[in-house]
Amino acid sequence: MNQQVNIYHERQCKELCALHALNNIFQKKNAFKQCDLDAICNSLAPKAWVNPHKSFLGLGNYDINVLSTALQRVGHEAVWFDKRKSPSCLNMNQVFGLILNIANETKFGPISLPLNRRHWFAIKEINGDFYNLDSKLEEPLLIGKEAELIIYLKDQLSVADKLLFVIVRKEVAENQSWLKSSDTIRT
């Protein structure tokens, strides 16, 4: 990693990977707080005894509805990326960041438990390079320039149980300028 680049990177705590992904993508401590995401959960399911948008233990594990609502409150959108398309169709000049959602296997010793657990992590361009800001990493992982990012995303999206969300400003989502025009796409 280039030591001269100042990168904000939250590390994993409890089941707060969605919170960490948001703060990492905005490159700011407390861009969002756990109480903010919990309030969103309560607004999405105000009468629920067990809130379906987070862990029943209250430790996090927020779903896409919470993430999307949090982003909308600050003028951004999480646009689901159809992985049948090549990531080379992304107009990275219009993309604020990327968030991947992956299956997170839960084990008790050698036994896998049948729990639907997911993990969120951010990818962000900082000073011309893209970084994997996964909260489970010790430090940000340099992916490289856009060409390396495309290769990285193709590899990630080749796995069936991974989802990609393109994080853009609201107006970019509305006019779909996060996509390159068809004549500029390279596969």
Q: What is the pTM of this model?
A: 0.86
Verify whether residue 119 is a known catalytic residue. yes
Q: Does the residue 8 lie in any domain?
A: no
CB 18 within 8 A of CB 121: no
**Candidates 17, 20, 41, 53; catalytic one:** 17
Q: Does the residue 85 lie in any domain?
A: yes
Verify whether residue 89 is a known catalytic residue. no
Q: Does the residue 71 lie in any domain?
A: yes
Q: Does the residue 32 lie in any domain?
A: yes
Buried b (16+ CB within 10 A) or exposed e, 36-55: bbbebbeebeeeeeebebbb
Residue 14 confidence (pLDDT): 84
Give the C-alpha separation, 136 to 11, whole Å. 6
Give which of 99, 60, 47 is closest to 76, Cα–Cα.
99
Residue 99 confidence (pLDDT): 97
Residue 123 confidence (pLDDT): 98
**Candidates 20, 53, 76, 119; catalytic one:** 119
CATH number, domain with residue 152: 3.90.70.40
Q: Does the residue 4 lie in any domain?
A: no
Q: Does the residue 56 lie in any domain?
A: yes
Q: Does the residue 84 lie in any domain?
A: yes
Distances (CA, A) of 32 to 16, 17, 24, 160: 11, 12, 10, 30
Per-residue pLDDT of the chain (187 residues; tens, 9 = 90+): 445 679 999 998 888 899 999 999 999 999 999 999 989 988 887 777 777 677 666 677 888 999 999 999 999 999 999 999 999 999 999 999 999 998 766 555 666 555 556 899 999 999 999 999 999 999 999 999 999 999 999 999 998 889 999 999 999 999 999 999 864 455 4
Structural domain total, the chain: 1
Q: Does the residue 6 lie in any domain?
A: no
Q: 167 lies in which domain range?
A: 17-184
CB 100 within 8 A of CB 164: yes
